[in-house]
């Protein structure tokens, strides 16, 4: 937890999750993806390790000390690169519109960066929509646009396709071993 006169940045508690979900929806609305969020309070509590199970993400809130209310949040998680090992991925950084231009977004970004350093991560990664004006903000803090610099494209396999791909494993395969190698034949349907 980090505190200044104006803001307190800390891990979210179970009682913060309702506000975090509300801000997730606000972010989705801003990103023109209002139907995107499907998480429930129970999902986020579980995945943040707030129910005693494993922690899949770290959820943080930024509290405005003058009103004792969450005005922003960040969700991050540990990831791994075959080039540099562990790194910290930022899923979301969000500050409610009426609290912007006060240093709240920068405070969250600095705190998340400090967490990456604490975890001994050599880098912090995140995605920003092409049209989002926050790109300039992140670039002003030293972030590099990897799409422009290195040509990386970010892909996703959605749930239905993911299930289909997993189902492909259950199709009958014939296995034949020859000498020191294995040949797989896909059995006809």
Choice among 138, 154, 155, 173 that is catalytic: 138
Element housing 163 (H / E): helix 159-168
Q: Which residues pair with 157 in a beta bridge?
A: none
User: Within 10 Å of residue 108's Cβ, how many Cβ atoms?
Assistant: 24
Q: Which two tokens stand for residue 27?
A: 């972010």
Backbone angles phi, psi at 57, to 5 degrees: -150, 160
Nearest CA to 72 among 104, 37, 113?
104
Active site residue 138: yes
Element housing 87 (H / E): strand 85-95
Positions annotated as catalytic residues are: 138
């Amino acid at each position: 937890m980090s505190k200044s006169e104006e803001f307190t940045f800390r891990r979210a508690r179970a009682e913060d999750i309702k506000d975090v979900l509300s801000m997730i929806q606000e972010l989705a609305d801003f990103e023109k993806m209002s139907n995107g969020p499907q998480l429930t309070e129970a999902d986020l509590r579980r995945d943040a390790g707030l129910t005693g199970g494993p922690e899949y993400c770290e959820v943080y809130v930024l509290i405005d000390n003058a009103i004792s209310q969450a005005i922003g949040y960040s969700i991050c998680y540990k990831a791994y690169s075959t080039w540099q090992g562990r790194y910290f991925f930022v899923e979301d950084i969000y500050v409610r519109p009426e609290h912007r231009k006060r240093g709240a977004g920068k405070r969250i970004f600095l705190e998340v960066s400090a967490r990456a350093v604490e975890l001994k991560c050599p880098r912090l990664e995140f995605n920003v929509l092409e049209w989002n004006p926050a790109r300039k903000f992140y670039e002003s803090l030293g972030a590099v646009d990897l799409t422009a610099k290195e040509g990386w494209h970010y892909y996703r396999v959605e749930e239905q396709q993911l299930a289909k791909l997993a189902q492909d494993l259950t199709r009958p395969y014939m296995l034949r071993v020859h000498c020191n190698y294995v040949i797989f034949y896909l059995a006809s349907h």
